[in-house]
Structure 1
Amino acid sequence: MEMILFLYILVFPCIRADARVHDSVIQRECKHTDLCPSYRENTAVTGLTDTKCNLFSGKWVHDVSYPLYDAADCPYINSQINCRPNGRPDSDYEKWKWQPDGCTIPRFNSNDMLEMLRGKRLLFVGDCISRGQFESMVCLLQAVIPSNKKVLVNGTSLITFKALDYNASVEFFWAPFLVQLETNKQGKTILDLDSIEKNGIYWKGADIMVFESSHWWDHTGGMDGQTWDMIIEGNKTFYNMDHMVAYRKALTSWKKWANSHIDFKKTMLFFRTMTPRHSSCLNVREPEKNTSADNPPLPPQVPILKKVLRRTNFPVVLLDVTGMTQLRKDAHPSKYDSPHPSGNGDCSHWCLPGVADIWNELLYSFVG
């Protein structure tokens, strides 16, 4: 029987695992012993139900040794999330680390991570939030690479950072829906829920994959508008399909692609949950102590994603960052999303350095 492993990056216990391959996978993922789970079989679902540490149950702790890099030394940050050069006067939002209850996350070590990536591809797939995580990873790594030993290659949908001495690449592929979004001869934008192969061509062969798809499914009107004119599924065309129904179907197509095209003996697969939009974030200077009525409710994308992943027949690690980022209203660009600040601004994306660096510390602890 194929292994079924659903990890909430030790946020939640492992839900399913086949005993024959269980040990080798967990040993690969648990170099840092304080993050390794304890095991027992659940009579309802074969798998793990206990862990020593719930990585996403915790708090933000002020730490003056952060950030892990200086934005001024990293030329790869998109201007929209490069907040201090855009005029943001405070810097405390950069100086918070995540402290889980009962354990400690290993501090990111750039040289160590580069050695883990030697001869490998690390691929991020998703929207602008995923691009922020990609840029964070590039900033973390490039600081220890000589200028003549690194290169950034920009393509139409694919951006690739290469660490030449390590024969390693960190890549970002723009696919906010994962499935294809195309324009027909009549100029109509079509979301094809069954079509993922054109995107998947660029994903094949990556050694570490981090997927995300969430924010663009919320575009239903108003300022954002709707991204597509019609949806195709099979030989049927829809003009008013519920967005969350379409989201579930797109995830199912992604699941089928992953099952058919990923060699799980070689590749580690991650999926990150949605980060919240806050209604206002201007002049917020520190994290919330706990989830309050002012924070947005759990996005519907999160339970849909978890339900789809529970039904996979392959190993996937869920980076469940939703709760921890709900507390970080202070870490958005707000009006400092451009060199000409105005209004309340952006309460959706995340400043760099900042929250995305912590996601990569979590990723680092799993890859090790």
Structure 2
Amino acid sequence: MRLQQREVGVVWDESVAGRRYDSENCDMRQAQKCVVNGKPDNGYLHWRWQPAGCNLSALDPAEFLHAVRGKHLAFVGDSIARTQAESLVCILSTFSRPETVHQYEERLGRKFWRWVFPAPHNVNISTYWSPFLVPSAHYAMTQETVILDALTEPWTADLDAMDVMVISVGHWFPRPAVYYDDGVISGVVSRPEVNRTDIGGGYLGVHRTAMRRTLEYVNAKSTTDKLVVVATISPAHFDARYGPNHRDACSRQKPYEEWEAEVSGAEAEMRKAVLDEAAAAAAHRRKPGLRFEVLDVTRLASMRPDGHPGIYIFRNAFAGRQVPETVANVDCRHWCAPGPVDTFNDILMKMVAAA
């Protein structure tokens, strides 16, 4: 394989002749279908992650379906978890077409979705909406009520039916919220109108607590063999020079150079929390068939500001028309598919194969 530019990091891959799959005819949210939506630059399809010391091969759908034959793969978390699940389904659909079984309509955000790959594969892939991993209720998408000590989310009921569990959260924790623990308010985050002190450690402390309690629960309650994969946060790339609804708030067409993509601050802390809590869970696992791994995507994602939908979140968004300066819902957090999110599944394949 011929590669250009950096030996380690994000490299331009001349062997990529086109899209890995046809998102137009694949079951995923329209907002991630960048090609269909008219994103004019397509370089994000050709850049790929090059780890140090090895080449990361693209997931082979036939090999993957063989490796997980008869198993249930569950993606638990927020919209990044959902996008990764949809990416995986689209890659596998190039080899075997699944049946889509949805429990909620798309207008409600595809919060619980299931795909079934028929015999001889008999593979189920599901998404479970749980942006805090613990029970929560949101009000007008501006404030949250979060229950830290009650793991009664829908995913817990299906825990023993999961053979591979991918956990991916992070982006909801900075939201203003009131937190309950043991039936009483334990603190708030960014809620000055509530007569309560901020919760210890702020939202970063809450993130670590939720991660720890989730993995402790999985460790204690799993009665079947399971691969538990915990993803680190994938950073957003809104350009601070512009307002969030400016057409150029998410318009970069090339990856960052390594010196431009420092992982620091809250993102570094959230990544560290995943590394620490997954290591603790692995060290105290209660049965040999329970395996904990980290899908560390923070560094590779931090370098890909080119791979977001930006203003192209609707089908043929600006076909033949000038893009206005102000555009609603500029998306510099989620990932184009095909795009960088497929790399998350290339790495997942290596973990599944090693199980």
Q: Smaller-chain TM-score range?
A: 0.7 to 0.9
With structure 2 as the length reference, what TM-score do the two structures score?
0.77
2:169 aligned with 1:213, yes or no?
Answer: yes
Aligned with residue 217 of structure 2, among 249, 253, 257: 257
Aligned partner (choices 63, 72, 78) of residue 24 of structure 2: 72
Q: Which amino acid aligns with 2:34?
A: C
CA distance in 2, matches of 1:88, 1:189: 34
Contact 1:122 1:206 in 2 (8 A): yes
* Separation of aligned partners in 2, 1:214 and 1:198: 17
Change (3 A) 1:117 1:86: same
Task: Quote the residue 1:283 is aligned against.
Answer: 251
With over 3 angstroms needed to count, the CA separation of the structure-2 counterparts of 1:244 and 1:335, relative to structure 1, is: same
Against the structure 1 CA distance between its residues 91 and 295, is the aligned structure 2 distance closer, same or farther, given a 3 Å change threshold? farther
For these two proteins, the number of residue pairs brought into alignment is: 297
Once the two structures are TM-superposed, the CA of residue 183 in structure 1 deviates from its matched residue by 7.5
Aligned residue runs from structure 1 range 237-252, under 5 A: 237=185, 238-239=187-188, 240-241=198-199, 242-252=202-212
In structure 1, distance between residues paired with 2:274 and 2:70: 31
* Displacement of 1:294: 8.2
What secondary structure sits across from 1:348 in the alignment? Answer: coil
* Contact 1:178 1:250 (C-alpha < 8 Å) held by counterparts: yes
Aligned with 1:301 (options 270, 275, 278)? 270
- Counterpart-to-counterpart distance in 1, 2:63 and 2:338: 20
Evaluate the alpha carbon distance shift between residue 263 and residue 59 of structure 1 in structure 2; reply closer, same or farther with a 3 A threshold.
farther
- Secondary structure in 1 aligned to 2:99? strand
**CA displacement, residues 221-259 of structure 1 (integer Å, 9 cap, x when unaligned):** xxxxx3x4x211113213332212222221121022111
TM superposition shift of 1:82? 1.1
Change (3 A) 1:142 1:293: closer
1:347 to 316, 325, 332: 332
Letter in 1 for 2:274: L
What amino acid is the match of 2:118? L
Change in Cα spacing, 1:235 to 1:295, as seen in structure 2 (3 Å) is closer
Tell me the SS of whatever aligns to 2:331: coil
Report sequence identity in percent: 26
Q: CA deviation at 1:310?
A: 2.8
The correspondence for 1:121, drawn from 62, 72, 87, is 72
Shift of 1:202: 2.9
Q: 2:149 aligns to what SS in structure 1?
A: coil
Deviations 1:298-326 (A, max 9, x none): 61311222222232213311111001111
Partner residue, 1:162: 116
1:297 deviation in Å? 5.0
C-alpha separation in 1, matches of 2:205 and 2:59: 38
Which of 37, 46, 59 aligns to 2:10? It is 59
Cα distance 1:120–1:193, how it changes in 2: closer, same or farther (>3 A)?
same
Deviation at 1:160, TM superposition (A): 0.5
CA distance in 1, matches of 2:309, 2:255: 14
- Tell me if 1:323 matches 2:299: yes
Distance 2:147 2:161 in 1: 24
Alpha-carbon distance in 2 for matches of 1:295, 1:67: 29
1:95 and 2:46 aligned = yes
Give the match's secondary structure for 2:173: helix
Aligned to 1:16: none
SS in 1 for 2:153: helix
How many Å apart are 1:103 and its aligned residue?
0.9
2 CA distance for matches of 1:62 and 1:80? Answer: 25
> What secondary structure does 2:125 align onto?
strand
- 2:213 partner amino acid: S
Cα shift at 1:66: 5.1
The answer to whether residue 135 in structure 2 is matched with residue 180 in structure 1 is yes
Are 1:276 and 1:296, in contact at CA under 8 Å, matched by a contact in 2?
A: no
Q: CA deviation at 1:293?
A: 6.5
Gap regions ≥5 residues in structure 2: 1-7, 105-110, 189-197, 240-248, 286-290, 319-323
Note the alpha carbon deviations across 1:264-292, whole angstroms, 9 max, x for none: 6x211100000111122533222123141
Amino acid in the other structure paired with 2:75 = F
Which residue of 2 is the match for residue 232 of structure 1?
A: 180
Secondary structure of the 1:97 match is: strand
Q: CA shift at 1:358, angstroms?
A: 0.8
Q: Could you tell me the TM-score, scaled by structure 1's length?
A: 0.74
- Picking from 68, 77, 82, the partner of 2:33 is 82
